[in-house]
Amino acid sequence: MNEFSDSLLAWFAGAARDLPWRRTRDPYAILVSELMLQQTQVTTVIDYFERWMKRFPDVRTLADAAEANVLRMWEGLGYYARARHLHRAAKAIVQAGGGFPRTLDEIRALPGVGPYTAGAVASFAFGIRAPMVDANIARVIARLRNIREPIDSSAGRKLIWQQAASMLPTDGEQARAHNGALMELGATLCKPGEPPCRHCPVKRWCRAKDPATLPAKEPRRAMIELEENCGWILQHGRVFLETSNGSRGPGMWRLPVIAVPARRSPIHESHYPVTHHRVHLRVFPAPRPARIRKNQRWIEIARLSETAMTAPHRRALTSLLDLDGVRRKLVPPRAGGSRRVPVVR
């Protein structure tokens, strides 16, 4: 071991956060945590991880679960393809005999597992000497080596990964701690913006000229405005929903898209961001559909809690149901009258 590793690992031993997925080497648990952590902050993931492990404690339980339940457990985390990938990965592992893949290449072949996640699972679960580069490690390495190439460019990624591999201790167990320590350094100390270099355990080896300007990144894409007009269709205690079809994948339910009704004002309006889009959501009262398409369903209000929905649509629906509840108390349906629940407007 060199001095750099000594300093880094000594610091890590005293500074490591106590995170649930650091208390285990169960490869399934590590895989779950890594999929959840893709593009998602640690503090957001902790509760989801613990709920998930309680509900789907092992690969077989997850493989046997219905996709609707899997997506419902993921609701609020975003990027729902990750949940479907994790579900597919569990099915693939069970189908292959139930033993968790134990080599970097086999782990990399699982759905939803890219270069980062493969390295993380191999290293954290099995102590395999594998590099891993996430946003934290990319930032730390860009600063340590004063790499000005944008880290999200092809050339920049290549440089960072080469450095990550070359810095790795020979021993697998030490490499495991090294990966965790670099990540922790980036998450807690070598943060974006102006980092507190005074307290850095490895500042002696850092070549960053101007840490605040590192890492460089490609300019981000322009925001795209989207308008979304949905229908509020309520009848017999059921609400009419649809699930997206096509590339966005099925399973997440939402209010049905409708043509904009003329001369009506929306009963709900909200804005929400999704990646580089900004969506302007408007909900209008709408008539009961003449035909029900394949991706559409009436869903009992009582069963909405077990229906996976994107967060903005869940919020819209909840607020509209609350409003409807209020109106129904003020104007109770006439006895013997129409069974149709009055449309709120």
Partner DNA sequence: AACTCGGGGAG
Partner DNA sequence: CTCCCAGAGTT
* Residue 176 exposure: Cα atoms within 13 Å on the Cβ side: 13
Q: Which residue has the tokens 């080497």?
A: 25
Distance CA 211, CA 56 (A): 42
DSSP code per residue over 3-16: HHHHHHHHHHHHH-
Q: Which one of residues 32, 63, 70, 77 is an interface residue with DNA (CB under 7 A)? A: 77
Task: Label residue 156 exposed, middle or buried (CB < 10 Å: 0-12, 13-18, 19+).
Answer: buried
Cα-based torsion angle of the residue sequence 40, 32, 123, 184 in order, rounded to the nearest 10 degrees: 30
338 binds DNA (CB under 7 A): no
Residue 333 C-beta: closest distance to DNA, Å: 34
Pick out residues in 80-119 that bind DNA (CB under 7 A).
80-81, 85, 111-118
Question: With respect to DNA, which residue has the nearer C-beta, 167 or 332?
Answer: 167
Question: Residue 65 and residue 235: Cα distance in Å, rounded?
Answer: 31
Using CB under 7 A, count the residues that bind DNA: 68
Interface with DNA, residue 245, by CB under 7 A: no
- The interface mask with DNA, positions 136-175, x = CB under 7 A, is x--x--------------x---------------------
Sole binder of DNA in the list 10, 57, 64, 76 (CB under 7 A): 76
The nearest distance, CB 273 to DNA, in angstroms, is 5
User: Nearest CA to 142 among 180, 195, 104, 178?
Assistant: 195
- C-beta separation of 190 from 15 below 8 A: no
Q: Is 242 a catalytic site residue? A: no
What is the rounded CA–CA span in Å between residue 55 and residue 233? 33
Q: Which stretch binds DNA (CB under 7 A): 37-45, 95-103, 202-210, 292-300?
A: 37-45
Rounded Cα–Cα distance for residues 322 and 309 (Å):
17
Q: Is 33 in the site for DNA (CB under 7 A)?
A: yes
Given the residues 34, 75, 173, 225, the one annotated as active site: 34
DSSP state of 310: -
Q: Which of 5, 38, 163, 243 binds DNA (CB under 7 A)?
A: 38
247 touches DNA by CB under 7 A: yes
Among 249, 261, 266, 289, binds DNA (CB under 7 A): 249
Phi, psi values for residue 139, rounded to 5°: -65, -45
Task: Say how far apart CA 294 and CA 243 lie, in whole Å.
Answer: 9
19 binds DNA (CB under 7 A): yes
Catalytic residues: 34
Judged by the rule CB under 7 A, the positions of this chain that interact with DNA are 19, 21-22, 33-34, 37-44, 75-81, 85, 111-118, 120, 134-136, 139, 154, 180, 183-184, 186-187, 191-193, 217, 220-221, 223, 226, 228, 244, 247-249, 252, 257, 271-279, 281, 310-312
